[in-house]
Amino acid sequence: MMVAIVSILMLAAQLPAAGSSLSLDQAVAAAVSTHPQIRQSAADIDAAASRIKQETGSRLPKVQVSEAITRGNNPTYVFGSLLEQSRFGPENFAISSLNDPNALTNFRSAITTSVSIFDGRRTSARIDQAREAKDRADRTLQLTEQSVRFEVIRSYYGLLVARSAEEVADQAVQTAESNVQRVQDRLQVGLVVDSDLLAARVELSSLRRQQIQAQGDLVNALAALNTWMGLPVDASPQMSGTLTEKTYDIENQEVLIQRAIEHRPDYAISSSSVRTAEDRIREARADYLPNARAFASFGVSGRNLTSGSSDYIVGANVTFDVFNAERKSRLSEARSGQTRAEAQQAERGNQIRLDVVRAVQQFRTAQQQLDVARSSVDQAQEALRIIQDRYDLGLTTITDLLRAQTELVRAKMGALSSRHAYVVGYAAVLLATGDLSDVRSFS
């Protein structure tokens, strides 16, 4: 319940006030502060930090306080308890007292402590493993934040594209409706034939279907962005972003690959896994080394809680396994884990290189397609202007005019799609190189 309340408060702080517009920065901040994957990664970081404290604390002495009460007539128990209580006397040497003593109650209060002097560096290896786990948790959070940031960028600009596409579809429908009305007027005065009116109506029906599709795409895009921000799917935030023309530059592919190896959180995670495997080998080797511990105990024994005799004991012990059939296999297993971790790191490096190549090609393709789409819109507009003039002069047919209008709508839709692909392609390059730490490039 408390986590949910904190998440709601954080989301409220990130979202714009009523009447203001939602910027990309605000959308990303809302998603980063509330997304379940990020909350899970944050919890993993806390757990890893607690693990470090746990392993570090194992180096400190352990102190225990105990209070026990026992009663019995077992000869050995009675004999020892009398000695502990300092109440053993000559009469207790009687054969009857030794063989058949009276029942005795013993209260025992004790403080005991023990500390490891040397454990073959097991604790050191475990602390290092815990620190590597904390580093992996931190890197996982970075990776998750970048992934969420990328999805918000794609959804945010996807919503802008969907709204622009709906506007294009609405304008196209209005134009088509005007065409139908104009053809009807001309048909009444005998300037066109029935087939021209049918063609105009068919074109209007086609554009209305495209308008319905654009409306559905807008609903889906809005639901996707709201989901990433943790809002109800039917919320309607006012957008401040626009699909303005932007130009992005990227470095050459080899430089980007090197940056990815240096910056990608998942590659750092694989490197941490290799170091953890090395720490496990150190821990396994500790089985071949001795263990030494020191201990001490202070206690009070008496027939009640208010009186008694005190005693203490201190000492140390050293143990060494002369024969342990498990340790060789345990060390072999740890070395196999190291080999596996190194292979996984190499595989991750190969995957990162492939990710960068794909992202670069995707971006360059989108860049070229955007250039073509811009030219297509200009050409379609000019073609429509020429055909419109010819149609007004009666030099061409309604079919040519409708075809030109359709091509202009298609070119505009293609330009919107290419612009979205261009922005998302650049974000994909940043994600592939591990540099999508903010959205300043898109604001």
Q: Is the dihedral of CA 364, 370, 375, 376 positive or negative?
A: positive
pLDDT confidence of residue 419:
94
Q: What is the pLDDT of residue 92?
A: 81
Round to whole Å and give the CA distance between 216 and 151.
Answer: 20
CA distance 379 to 395: 20
Residues of the chain with pLDDT under 50: 1-15, 17-19
Tokens 């390059």 belong to: 429
Confirm if 161 and 420 have CB atoms less than 8 A apart: yes
Structure tokens that stand for 108 in this block: 């025992």
What is the signed CA dihedral for 7, 8, 14, 19, rounded to 10 degrees? 170
d(CA 100, CA 111): 32
Rounded Cα–Cα distance for residues 138 and 141 (Å): 5
Element (H, E) at 303: strand 291-304
* The model scores a pTM over 0.85: no
List pLDDT tens digits, range 222-281: 999 999 999 998 888 887 666 777 889 999 999 999 999 999 999 999 999 999 999 999
Segments making up each domain of the chain, as ranges: 2-61+120-288+326-442
Alpha carbon 77 to its chain's center: 61
| Euclidean distance between CA atoms 31 and 229, whole angstroms | 4
Q: What is the DSSP letter of 286?
A: G
Q: Alpha-carbon distance 112 to 312, whole Å?
A: 9
Residues making up the chain, counted from first to last: 443
Alpha-carbon distance 283 to 126, whole Å?
7
Distance CA 288, CA 120 (A): 8
Q: String of b and e for 129-143 (b: at least 16 CB within 10 Å)?
A: bbbbbbbbbbbbbbb
Task: Please report, as a single letter, which amino acid is at residue 420.
Answer: H
- The answer to whether 37 touches 148, Cβ cutoff 8 Å, is yes
What phi, psi does 301 have (nearest 5°)?
Answer: -120, 135
188 dihedral zone (left: phi>0; alpha: psi -120 to 50; beta): alpha
**Is the Cα dihedral 416, 418, 422, 425 positive or negative?**
positive
Residue 307: helix, strand or coil by DSSP? strand
Q: Is the dihedral of CA 160, 166, 169, 173 positive or negative?
A: negative
Alpha-carbon dihedral 397, 399, 405, 409, rounded to 10 degrees: -170
The residue with tokens 């757990």 is 47
pLDDT of residue 150: 97
Q: How far is the C-alpha of 404 from the C-alpha of 425, rounded, in Å?
A: 31
pLDDT at 53: 95
Cβ neighbours around 313 below 10 Å, total: 10
Residue 323 phi/psi, 5-degree rounding, is -140, 125
- Distance CA(353)–CA(262), nearest Å, equals 12
Per residue in 193-221, pLDDT tens?
888 889 889 999 999 999 999 999 999 99
Q: Report pLDDT for 3.
A: 39
Q: What is the pLDDT of residue 317?
A: 95
User: What would the CATH number be for the domain defined by 2-61+120-288+326-442?
Assistant: 1.20.1600.10
